[in-house]
């Protein structure tokens, strides 16, 4: 097997086994948090964390895989590659690392972006005690995005609605309406949920327990689906003018894009997982980026999410159509072949290096 390909997996269970073995070989301190659901094989699902460095380490590198479940194949492979290459042993004095594998283990195992509640975790970290953000565009498109039947007649009728929206508002506005997050249709796409999910509650506890003593935290959240094939865009999700935004610009320079500024492939989203870090570790200077690896054209990526949403809402998983939809979904977020995996690892190694350098730069 290609050495790089060996870091990557085809199932959640395989990925977890490789990650646990690599973490143990590197001498990390391991903790597991069991999800209340099971995988398609009936097996248990976990958010696993491994920590390196002293408990009082002032600088902490954090990495996350599977915020969007199926995208965890990418983050898992990148983190395993770092572990196997001796990354923990090369950390500078005063710098530790926390790797979070399976942020959304249910989606990882079931080849979904969403969790066991059909919730997009990167839309769930809002204040659920306040009114939710309004997404009028999604409300307008909801019926067309999730038709009762997935046949030629229903899809043709729905496509007219979608095309009219694009003609009226533009392609990027359409992407935002669909993917920015919505809180009105629990069975729909990119739903942010109406309460904190299991992953939300669990990762907050992880941050408090593992990062509470840190003075600086640099976080890399691995994602896939947007942009040129294999390119890892560095997305700065912080509000412009915030300390986290400014740190990302300092650490990553012109490579760092921002949905707020308008130079990112991503739409502006609310309720991202990284919002929890400064909330749960308020004494640390925080810099978080999402590394977004491109796969296929955006219309195919959105179609994959749409098919998967319909399949779990109206379809039959154990059917020819169900298996075809799952294969389409997996390929759009985790392309087969070694070339893409090699590009993931090269870019990941570079970004980890820049993050460690930023953590150790003069304040």
| pLDDT given at position 73 | 98
- Collapse the DSSP code of 206 into the 3-class scheme (helix H, G, I; strand E, B; otherwise coil) and give the result: helix
pLDDT for the residue 259: 75
pLDDT at 340: 97
> Within 13 Å and on the Cβ side, how many CA atoms surround 23?
25
For residues 144-152, give the mean pLDDT.
93
Q: What's the pLDDT band for 188 if we cut at 50, 70, 90?
A: very high
Query: What are the tens digits of pLDDT across the range 233-282?
Result: 999 888 888 889 899 999 999 888 887 777 677 767 789 999 999 999 99
Distance of CA 224 to the CA centre of its chain: 7
The answer for residues whose C-beta is within 8 angstroms of residue 101's C-beta and 6 or more apart is 15, 16, 19, 47, 48, 49, 50, 65, 66, 72, 75, 76, 79
For residues 12 and 75, the answer to whether their CB atoms sit within 8 Å is no
What pLDDT does 134 receive?
Answer: 93
* Every domain range in the chain assigned CATH 3.40.630.10: 5-129+192-299+327-359
- The whole-number pLDDT of residue 185 equals 97
Answer yes or no: is pLDDT of 86 > 80: yes
Per DSSP, 285 falls in state: E
Give the whole-angstrom CA distance, residue 22 versus residue 295: 27
pLDDT greater than 70 at residue 1: no
Compute CA 141 distance to the chain's CA centroid, rounded to the nearest angstrom.
Answer: 24
Residue 230 gets the label, from left (phi > 0), alpha (psi -120 to 50) or beta, of left
Contacts of 94 (CB under 8 A, 6+ apart): 57, 58, 59, 360
Say whether pLDDT at 15 is over 90. Answer: yes
Cα gap 348→291, rounded to integer Å = 8
C-beta separation of 1 from 337 below 8 A: no
Distance CA 140, CA 162 (A): 10
Q: What is the pLDDT of residue 260?
A: 75
pTM of the model: 0.96
pLDDT digits (tens, 9 = 90+) for 314-343: 999 999 999 999 999 999 999 998 999 999
Helices 152-169 and 136-145 sit at what angle, rounded to 10 degrees?
160
Q: What integer pLDDT is reported at residue 80 of this predicted model?
A: 98
State the pLDDT at residue 241. 84
Q: Do the beta carbons of residue 293 and residue 74 sit within 8 Å?
A: yes
Sign of the Cα torsion 266, 102, 189, 299 reads positive
CATH number for the 5-129+192-299+327-359 domain, one of 3.90.1150.10, 3.30.70.380, 3.40.50.620, 3.40.630.10? Answer: 3.40.630.10
pLDDT of residue 243: 87
Q: Is the pLDDT of residue 212 over 70?
A: yes
Question: Would you say residue 163 has pLDDT above 90?
Answer: yes
Task: Identify the CA nearest to 134 among candidates 178, 190, 181.
Answer: 181
Q: What is the mean pLDDT of residues 3-29?
A: 96
pLDDT above 90 coverage of the chain, percent: 89
Average pLDDT, the chain: 95
Angle at CA of residue 73, ends 200 and 201, nearest 5° = 10
| DSSP, res 27 | T
Beta bridge partners of 96: 60
């Amino acid at each position: 097997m290609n050495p790089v390909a060996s870091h990557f997996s085809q199932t959640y269970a395989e990925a977890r086994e490789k990650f646990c073995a690599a973490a143990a070989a590197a001498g990390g301190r391991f903790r597991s948090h069991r999800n209340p659901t099971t995988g398609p094989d009936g097996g248990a699902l976990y958010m696993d964390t491994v920590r390196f460095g002293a408990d009082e380490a002032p600088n902490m590198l954090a990495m996350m895989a599977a915020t969007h479940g199926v995208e965890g194949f990418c983050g898992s492979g990148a983190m395993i590659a770092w572990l196997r290459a001796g990354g923990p042993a090369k950390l500078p004095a005063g710098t530790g690392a926390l790797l979070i594998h399976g942020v959304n283990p249910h989606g990882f195992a079931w080849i979904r972006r969403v969790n066991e509640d059909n919730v997009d975790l990167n839309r769930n970290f809002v204040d659920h005690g306040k009114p939710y953000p309004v997404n009028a565009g999604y409300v307008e498109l909801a019926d067309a995005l999730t038709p009762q039947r997935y046949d030629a007649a229903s899809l043709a009728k729905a496509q007219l609605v979608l095309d009219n929206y694009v003609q009226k508002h533009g392609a990027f506005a359409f992407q935002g309406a669909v993917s920015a997050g919505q809180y009105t249709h629990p069975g729909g796409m990119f739903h942010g949920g109406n309460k904190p999910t299991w992953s939300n509650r669990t990762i907050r506890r992880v941050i408090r327990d593992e990062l509470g003593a840190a003075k600086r935290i640099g976080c890399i959240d691995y994602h896939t689906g947007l942009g040129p094939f294999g390119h890892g865009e560095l997305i700065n999700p912080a509000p412009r003018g915030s300390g986290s935004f400014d740190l990302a610009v300092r650490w990553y320079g012109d490579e760092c894009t921002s949905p707020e500024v308008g130079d990112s492939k991503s739409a502006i989203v609310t309720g991202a997982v990284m919002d929890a870090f400064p909330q749960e570790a308020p004494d640390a200077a925080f810099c978080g980026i999402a590394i977004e690896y491109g796969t296929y054209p955006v219309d195919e990526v959105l179609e994959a999410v749409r098919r998967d949403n319909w399949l779990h809402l109206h379809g039959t998983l154990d059917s020819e159509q169900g298996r075809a939809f799952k294969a389409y979904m997996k390929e759009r977020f985790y392309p087969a072949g070694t070339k893409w995996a090699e590009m993931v690892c090269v870019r990941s190694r570079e970004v980890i290096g820049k993050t460690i350098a930023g953590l150790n730069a003069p304040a």
